[in-house]
Amino acid sequence: MRRAALYRRVSTPGQVDGFSLADQLERLSRLAEAEGFGWEDFCDPGHSGEKLEERPALMGLLGRLDEFEAVLVVDESRLARSEAVAFLIRQRLREAGVRLVTPQGETDLSDPDESLMSAVRTLFGVAEQTRRTQRMTQGLDRAAQEGLWTGGPAPVGYRLVKTPAGHTTLEVDPEGAAFVRMVVGMVVDEGLSVYETAKRINALGYRTRKGTPWEHRNLGHHLRRRHLLGEIPYNSAGGPVVRQFPPLIPEARFADLQAALRRNARPAPDKRHLYPFSGRVACECGGRLVGTWRNDRAVRCYVCNRHVNAAITGRRCTARPHWHRADRLETLLWEPIRATLADPDRLQAAALAHTGQEGPDPAELDARIADRRRRLDLVTDERVRTFRDARHLGLTNPEIRRILSQLSEEHDTLTRELRTLEQQARLAASRTDPIAQAHRLVQAAAVALGHPTLGDQAALIALLDIQATPVEGGYEVTGSIPLTTEDGTPGKMLTGELPR
Ligand SMILES: [Zn+2]
């Protein structure tokens, strides 16, 4: 009989989404029987879920994948809360040819683009988390640790209140929270797209805090953020810090919401309406280039916003030309981004520069090992040659030994160095450093970076917060996470000039 592994765990203590361990067993065993599987149950009753080694049942399952055709979970978030761990697990399942099945359907484990995005997100997510942890332990954000609110309006679903000591903190706003749950219901239970949801809530008379109708982009932004789980970052002097407030919806509901957002998304927008660099490139006049479709030439292009708004603002664009063909500009600006993303070592250097962390540098270690091996080969060859020549010249053995002694000494030194370096490399490889782990993930995913779609590009460009400025001879391209130059030092990328 075909066999499936049921995997159960609770993700938060006192989970309120109705997926208790018993519920999960019931749903999963029914699913297994419906699919014609004999099954074996794997259950981690603890709540942590962050580290694989704290989940013995999952570890046991991963060690026995060859016995199963499928792994059944009530939703993907059961596998892992951390995207890095989830990615590793999906990779293991894919390698073992095991299907991942949930009551909602089967998860495609093979999509390379999704793996790439996931790996890149993981890398920077891990970097961000490391940085956060450092800050918290350095005690730079005591107020945040004490759950106080240090500025800005309350996020949707929350309101500001004063503590008895006169500080400000956040609490759930019942009315706002009800609004959030209603919107989540429209997406998850009714299957509306964000666009349809925005239209619906506007028609119902709901407005944003500013009193304006909801735009679908803005609404989508709110629905994708972990704010809904009470994980709300604020910008301290040293960077963003995340604090935990009471969640508006349970974690499993949030996972359902993210799945529904992906599922309900309308088909990819017509290419003529997708401009990944819109608003991210400066015009020579000081304005910004925005994407637009030129009907007269039937071509995608980027045009200076000062030119577009001249009639309203009275400010004119002084650059000539004030517009560029989109495909040319995008090709030019994408290149340095692609070069950084496609090179795991440079990507890791970027992440390290981002966190300001010293990390193991496997690339440098590898280079030094290769160098020692090469020199060792040379010395060995030289020894053989010298020995042969000395014999031809009729030298005596003691004379030959003396001539060879220097080369022998060099040979021994190189051998010793090589052993030490190889040991260091083994150590570095065995470290469970999250950055090194992310490095390996990206290495695997970089292969998929060959031909990203414009949508993939747009997502990466937004993730990296890419900005471009015209300079002599081309554009300078920068990201919030430093792109790196070829020699691995973080810095600005210079790219070439556009054909006029
Ligand atoms: Zn301009």
Q: For strand 467-471 and strand 3-9, is the pairing parallel, antiparallel, or unpaired? A: unpaired
Cα 256 to ligand 1 centroid, rounded to whole Å: 44
Mean pLDDT across the stretch 322-334? 88
Query: Could you tell me which residue, 80 or 431, shows the higher pLDDT?
Result: 80
SS3 120: helix
Assess whether pLDDT exceeds 60 at residue 366.
yes
Taking a C-beta distance cutoff of 8 angstroms, is the pair 487, 363 a contact?
A: no
Q: What is the pLDDT of residues 55-83, one digit of tens each?
A: 788 888 888 888 999 999 987 767 766 55
Cα 471 to ligand 1 centroid, rounded to whole Å: 14
Assess whether pLDDT exceeds 80 at residue 327.
yes
Q: What is the pLDDT of residues 148-177, one digit of tens each?
A: 665 567 888 998 888 777 777 788 999 999
pLDDT score recorded for residue 140 = 41
Cα 328 to ligand 1 centroid, rounded to whole Å: 18
pLDDT score recorded for residue 492 = 56
Q: Who surrounds ion ligand 1 at CB < 5 A? A: 283, 285, 287, 304, 306, 317, 319
Cα 422 to ligand 1 centroid, rounded to whole Å: 55
Cα 453 to ligand 1 centroid, rounded to whole Å: 28
pLDDT score recorded for residue 153 = 75
What does the longest C-alpha to C-alpha distance in the chain come to? 104
Q: Tell me which residue has tokens 């009530």.
A: 74
Query: Could you tell me which residue, 54 or 116, shows the higher pLDDT?
Result: 54
Q: Residue-wise over 333-351: b if at least 16 C-beta within 10 A, else e? A: bbebbbbbbebbbbbbbbb
**Lateral strand order in the sheet of 105-107:** 38-44, 3-9, 70-72, 99-102, 105-107
Cα 216 to ligand 1 centroid, rounded to whole Å: 29
Cα 305 to ligand 1 centroid, rounded to whole Å: 7
Cα 284 to ligand 1 centroid, rounded to whole Å: 6
By CB atoms closer than 10 A (0-12, 13-18, 19+), residue 172 is middle
pLDDT score recorded for residue 447 = 45
- Which range among 192-196, 427-431, 477-481 shows the weakest confidence by mean pLDDT? 427-431
Cα 478 to ligand 1 centroid, rounded to whole Å: 20
Assess whether pLDDT exceeds 50 at residue 445.
no
Mean pLDDT across the stretch 338-347? 67
pTM for the whole structure: 0.36
Cα 331 to ligand 1 centroid, rounded to whole Å: 20
Mean pLDDT across the stretch 179-203? 90
Q: How confident is the model at residue 32 (pLDDT cuts 50, 70, 90)?
A: very high
pLDDT score recorded for residue 399 = 76
Cα 500 to ligand 1 centroid, rounded to whole Å: 15
